[in-house]
Chain A
């Protein structure tokens, strides 16, 4: 392991240890107070957590999101029960989803808080399925983000797209991350698969783009955009529109290469 990487690991360990102490010393207070104190401290420890921007972060996540999830894990271990605060921008998108009988697919990109979608849908009584390579990890993360119910997973197999079509026909909302990186690759290259949008050529489908951000005060903000398929041509066109939305509306700096194959299997 290169020396710089060793220093990065030590910086993060030190920062997490300090956060642990903060949680421990505030443990007598209510969850919100403990979280707010630890979150404020995590910002002051940014010079240590910035190690995430250079190593141990192959997806190129925003450092704030990585720190947020680490903090939730610590909090869960030392003082379980904190329910993260979530603000949904464009609430009407979900209200429409709850009323609508049209099949809907929500696409997003991997992030430490991507599974908060399950909680948002659960809170609004919308039945959903999600695609996951590792259901156990995703389930644990969803629980940390405040999801209480059982999640319905679609496995990554050669039947993934057929299963997605089945669930859409059963009027379930399907949500998934469509970005990917090559397994075990040291390369920072990221890809965006348009494969799932092939389904939009077969049935009338509501396509919702979704992105999550962490606000300065430690709240998850959820942004959505209903894509109009008339504005784009074919699955690759929809994937391009998604990337454009992520970059122009939310300032994502990651670069994704659009591919039509299906890394989901």
Chain B
């Protein structure tokens, strides 16, 4: 279940980054990537979160998401939230 959530979440993150230099990273590299280094504007970041929320039927906490330093932190928040919901 948790692995499935992580896979879905990573797929959405990859889709957001498909035209960026981060597109070719492995999953591990991607998870270690700093969110700031993605240079997303706030619309792109919000849309990424919205897509995650839509796909996993969850609602994320904006403050927690804003404080996430690495993509791993976002994935952790998502899996935690999904587990909470289930």
User: Which positions in A face B, CB cutoff 8 Å?
Assistant: 157-163, 165-166, 169, 195, 198, 202, 260-262, 264-265
Chain B residues, Cβ within 8 Å of A165: 46, 62
> Do B66 and A162 touch across chains, with their CB atoms under 8 A apart?
yes
Task: Kindly list chain B residues whose C-beta atoms are within 8 Å of the C-beta of A157.
Answer: 42, 66
- Chain B residues near A265: list those with CB within 8 A: 41-42
Instruction: Verify A202–B41 contact, CB threshold 8 A.
Output: no
Q: Say whether, besides A162-B49, A202-B50, A195 and B66 are in contact (CB < 8 Å).
A: no
Over the window 47-83 of chain B, the binary record of Cβ atoms lying under 8 Å from chain A Cβ atoms (1 yes, 0 no) is: 1011000000000001101100000000000000000
Instruction: Show 9 A/B contacts (Cβ-Cβ < 8 Å), sorted by A.
Output: A157-B66, A159-B65, A160-B42, A161-B45, A162-B42, A163-B66, A165-B62, A166-B63, A262-B41
Binding site for A on B (CB under 8 A): 35-36, 39-43, 45-47, 49-50, 62-63, 65-66
A261 with B62: in contact, given A158-B36, A202-B50 (CB under 8 Å)? Answer: no
Q: How far is the CA of A160 from the CA of B46 in the complex (A)?
A: 9
Counted as pairs of residues, one from A and one from B, with CB atoms less than 8 Å apart, the total is 48
Most B-side CB within 10 Å, residue of A158, A165, A198: A158
Which one of B41, B50, B63, B65 lies within 8 Å of A261 (CB-CB)?
A: B41
Q: Output the least CB separation between A80 and chain B (Å).
A: 37
Report A-chain residues with C-beta under 8 Å of the C-beta of B46. Answer: 161-162, 165, 198
Q: Which 7 A-B pairs have the closest CB atoms?
A: A166-B62, A159-B66, A262-B43, A160-B42, A161-B46, A161-B42, A162-B62
Using Cβ atoms and an 8 Å threshold, which residues of chain A touch B40?
Answer: 158
Contact yes or no, B42 A159, CB < 8 A: yes
Is A158 a contact of B62 with CB atoms below 8 Å?
Answer: no
Q: In the complex, which residue of chain B has the Cβ closest to the Cβ of A160?
A: B42
CA distance A265 to B46 in the complex (A): 11
| Chain A contacts for B42, CB-based, 8 A | 157-162, 195, 262, 264-265
Determine the distance from Cα of A260 to Cα of B47 in the docked complex, in whole angstroms. 13
User: Given the complex, which residues of A lie within 8 Å of B45, measured CB to CB?
Assistant: 158-159, 161-162
Nearest CB of B to A163, in Å: 6
CA distance A198 to B50 in the complex (A): 11
Most chain A C-beta atoms within 10 Å of own C-beta, residue among B36, B39, B45: B45
**Beyond A161-B42, A169-B62: 12 further Cβ-contacts under 8 Å?**
A158-B45, A159-B45, A160-B42, A161-B45, A162-B62, A162-B65, A166-B62, A195-B43, A198-B47, A262-B41, A264-B42, A265-B41
* B residues less than 8 Å from A159 (CB atoms): 42, 45, 62, 65-66
> What's the least CB distance linking B1 to chain A, in Å?
26
Q: Which residues of chain B are near A158, meaning CB under 8 Å?
A: 35-36, 39-42, 45
Q: Is A261 within 8 A of B43, CB to CB? A: yes
Q: Are A163 and B41 in contact (CB under 8 A)?
A: no
Q: Which interface residue of B39, B65, B66 has the most chain A CB atoms within 10 A?
A: B66
In the complex, A264→B45 CA distance in Å? 13
